[in-house]
Amino acid sequence: MSRRGGGGASNDAESSNGVNRSHSSAGVRDSGPETSYENGENGHKIAFDPRDISESAERSKQPKLTLMDEVVLLGLKDKQGYLSFWNDNISYALRGCIVIELAFRGRISMQNDPARRRFPLADRVIEVIDDTLTGEVLLDEALKMMKQSEKMSVGTWIDLMSGETWNLMKIGYQLKQVRERLCKGLVDKGILRTEKRNFLLFDMATHPVADGGAKDEIRRRVRNVLTQRTVVLPGSQFLPETLEFRYTRTIAMICAAYAANVLENALTTLGHEARERAFTQTDELLAEYSQWPFGRKPSSTGIGANVPQVIAEEINGAKNKELQLEVVAACLSVFTRLDSLL
């Protein structure tokens, strides 16, 4: 993997108990404890946290699977229930997916500093704009670290969460056992199941696919984007019609799967020439969407001719969220530097 040096601006540290939070970033929600009451049937008041209701409502608008879930599913062997032991890139790509997912969910954005344009996308500093928990364990762990830490660049965060640092003071930023935790999360979501398999001298927990429909839907979506002249993404529980940035999210998932060396698992039913065209299309998508503003050049293969227009419409419908989408582009630019894609 290519390594990058990331620029970063310091920020006042928060207190460890999270009560005395810094308010230097405009728009960051105060997460202090709240309690409300409503009357029960017997006349007694019932205490509840209104954040539970708002977070539940938000989760209902999100897809059932995160970007990390989808990339792991593409890499997972259906019956054996484990990822390739020789795939080093997937761990790094998954950390990038965490940053992308937080941006899509409106938790982080680029720091709104006009001077940032002097730096490459990967070296631009990100900040937390909403510290509301997402309900996804890995996302919330990363969000808390970003909130409590100094502000750092996109590339630096991905490196640190991957353990790619010589700074012993920052080794604690590494997210541990990401693949295994994602698989366990997919078990909780009913997509995978847990089994024990014997590998030579030891037993290992594996996670075969329990709900093949989820993985089939992801494969169909990938093939749709990479083979069809006009791309139409039907709604499903994994990509609801009401979901914001449906097409941009799908492009990000495909590019992340490509960087993680698992994209080919969605293209096994294609012939040789169609598979080569699909990889050419992926190269072009990664080149166009790893810059900001996103590129709008039509595909040389004629595939996905409507995609630039559809994504432009998504962006125009959310002009106040361009700094979040800039983070997505920055993560994709980091993926372009992986040795597997050079």
Instruction: Assess if residue 112 is contained within a domain.
Output: yes
Instruction: Assess if residue 237 is contained within a domain.
Output: yes
Residue 273: band (very low, low, confident or very high) from pLDDT cuts 50, 70, 90? very high
The pTM is what? 0.82
Report the mean per-residue pLDDT for the chain.
Answer: 85
Nearest CA-CA partner of 336 in 138, 102, 163, 120: 120
Instruction: Assess if residue 331 is contained within a domain.
Output: yes
| 9 has pLDDT over 50 | no
Instruction: Assess if residue 176 is contained within a domain.
Output: yes
Instruction: Return the minimum-mean-pLDDT range out of 25-39, 111-125, 204-218, 244-258.
Output: 25-39
Nearest CA-CA partner of 107 in 63, 143, 157, 148: 143
Residue 45: band (very low, low, confident or very high) from pLDDT cuts 50, 70, 90? low
pLDDT for residue 261: 95
Nearest CA-CA partner of 107 in 124, 137, 82, 127: 127
**C-alpha span between 238 and 299 (Å, rounded):** 27
| 339 has pLDDT over 80 | no
Give every CB contact of residue 62 below 8 A, 6+ residues apart in sequence. Answer: 105, 134, 243
The total number of structural domains in the chain stands at: 1
Q: What is the pLDDT of residues 109-150, one digit of tens each?
A: 999 999 999 999 999 999 999 999 999 999 999 999 999 999
Query: What's 227's domain CATH number?
Result: 1.10.3630.10
Instruction: Assess if residue 15 is contained within a domain.
Output: no
- The answer to whether 225 and 251 are in contact (CB under 8 A) is yes
Instruction: Assess if residue 279 is contained within a domain.
Output: yes
Between 24 and 198, name the one with better pLDDT: 198
User: For residue 328, what are the domain limits?
Assistant: 61-341
Instruction: Assess if residue 36 is contained within a domain.
Output: no
Percent pLDDT > 70 in the chain is: 81
- The answer to whether 103 and 325 are in contact (CB under 8 A) is yes
Residues in the chain: 342
Instruction: Assess if residue 299 is contained within a domain.
Output: yes
| 322 has pLDDT over 80 | yes
pLDDT for residue 6: 38
| 97 has pLDDT over 60 | yes
